[in-house]
């Protein structure tokens, strides 16, 4: 009998991203089980990343546990986020989560939206 191939982790976190998510969750107005990450159509480049508090784990969520943080991936975003590293950066003018995504093909000039392709070797997401 063949051994099932391990599933790749959809997203990984830097220490800075994990620390910031822990801080944000600890200061949430309501109890949360993690943060939900996804993508949606919009912006001048075609897609934008989304993040929101998750009060519960949906049956269809892809659950990633990394550095003591639970990240829930919207099932429609999995193919677009495979191999992504999530970071948190602070500079003189901004502080934000940054997605280092190998599936990103371009971004708009303001950096608010990106163009993404499904991960190599994967089928397109269901309509």
Q: Is residue 3 part of a domain?
A: no
Number of domains composing the chain = 1
Q: Is residue 2 part of a domain?
A: no
Domain that holds residue 23: 11-116
Average pLDDT over the chain reads: 83
**Average pLDDT for 104-110:** 65
- The band of 93, judged by pLDDT with boundaries at 50, 70 and 90, is confident
pLDDT tens digits along 34-82: 999 998 887 666 778 889 999 999 999 999 999 999 999 999 888 888 8
**Percent with pLDDT over 90 in the chain:** 46
Q: What is the pTM of this model?
A: 0.76
Instruction: Please report, for the domain that includes residue 68, its CATH number.
Output: 2.60.300.12
Q: Is residue 123 part of a domain?
A: no
Predicted pLDDT of residue 127? 41
Predicted pLDDT of residue 125? 46
Q: Is residue 53 part of a domain?
A: yes
Predicted pLDDT of residue 36? 95
Report DSSP state, residue 16.
Answer: H
Q: Is residue 121 part of a domain?
A: no
């Amino acid at each position: 009998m063949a051994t099932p191939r391990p599933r790749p982790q959809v997203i990984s976190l830097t220490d800075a991203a994990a620390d910031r998510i822990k801080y944000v969750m600890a200061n949430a107005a309501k109890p949360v089980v993690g943060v939900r990450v996804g993508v949606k159509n919009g912006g001048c480049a075609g897609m934008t990343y989304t993040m929101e508090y998750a009060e519960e784990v949906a049956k269809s969520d892809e659950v990633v546990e990394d550095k003591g943080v639970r990240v829930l991936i919207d099932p429609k975003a999995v193919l677009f986020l495979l191999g992504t590293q999530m970071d948190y950066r602070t500079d003189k003018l901004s502080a934000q989560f940054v997605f280092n995504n190998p599936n990103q093909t371009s971004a708009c000039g303001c950096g608010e939206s990106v163009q993404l392709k499904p991960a190599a070797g994967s089928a397109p997401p269901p309509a």
